[in-house]
């Protein structure tokens, strides 16, 4: 659907001219709107790829305690997280053209007796927060990069899923 949305806009504009004699100048999206749309599409692509590798992993693993789960994050465009053994890999859209990935650890359901001990049981970030950034190429094409190096979604998923599984193996 994403690949034909711009064609649908062209057809709709042409139909207005032919049927109603109305000439409507095509709405030009701003760079911010284009980046936001491309960011949402990229994070959905990441989610679908993570879903595929998670399904394959879970089928091969077969043991219920060690399965990986994927959850959407409420009130967001398309953010999601993987969860396993108290570990979360959170993939989120921080801004138009910026997607972050970070791993967190959620301690077990221990309820601390005091507020002082509660601080030690907060969710902890593991490792660094990774930033995937969008850049414009020729003819309005959007490229995704990490530290100024072009990236491929298959390798992003392989790297982070492997990292997640290794960290969450308990």
Q: pLDDT per residue over 47-90, tens digit each?
A: 999 999 999 999 999 888 889 999 999 888 789 999 999 899 99
Q: Find the angle CA(69)-CA(79)-CA(74) to the nearest 5 degrees.
A: 85
Q: pLDDT per residue over 90-135, tens digit each?
A: 999 999 999 999 999 887 655 555 555 445 556 676 778 999 999 9
> What long-range pairs does 55-62 form, CB within 8 A, spacing at least 24?
57/161, 57/165
Both tokens assigned to 105? 């650890």
Question: pTM of this prediction?
Answer: 0.78
Confirm if 26 and 13 have CB atoms less than 8 A apart.
Answer: yes
Count other Cβ atoms within 10 Å, centred on residue 86: 14
Q: Can you give the residue ranges of every domain in the chain? A: 30-168
Backbone angles phi, psi at 89, to 5 degrees: -110, 110
């Amino acid at each position: 659907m994403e690949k034909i949305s711009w064609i649908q806009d062209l057809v709709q504009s042409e139909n207005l001219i032919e049927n109603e004699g109305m000439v409507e100048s095509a709405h030009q999206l701003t760079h911010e709107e284009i980046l936001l749309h491309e960011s949402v599409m990229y994070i959905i692509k990441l989610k679908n790829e993570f879903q595929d590798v998670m399904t394959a992993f879970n089928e091969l693993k077969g043991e219920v305690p060690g399965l990986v789960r994927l959850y959407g994050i409420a009130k967001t465009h398309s953010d999601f997280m993987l969860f396993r053994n108290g570990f979360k890999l959170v993939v989120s859209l921080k801004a138009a053209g910026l997607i972050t990935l970070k791993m967190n650890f959620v301690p077990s359901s221990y309820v601390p007796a005091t507020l002082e001990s509660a601080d030690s049981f907060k969710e902890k970030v593991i490792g660094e927060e990774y930033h995937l950034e969008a850049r414009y190429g020729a003819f309005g094409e959007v490229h995704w990069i990490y530290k100024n190096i072009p990236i491929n979604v298959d390798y992003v998923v392989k790297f982070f899923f492997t990292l997640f599984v290794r960290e969450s193996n308990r």
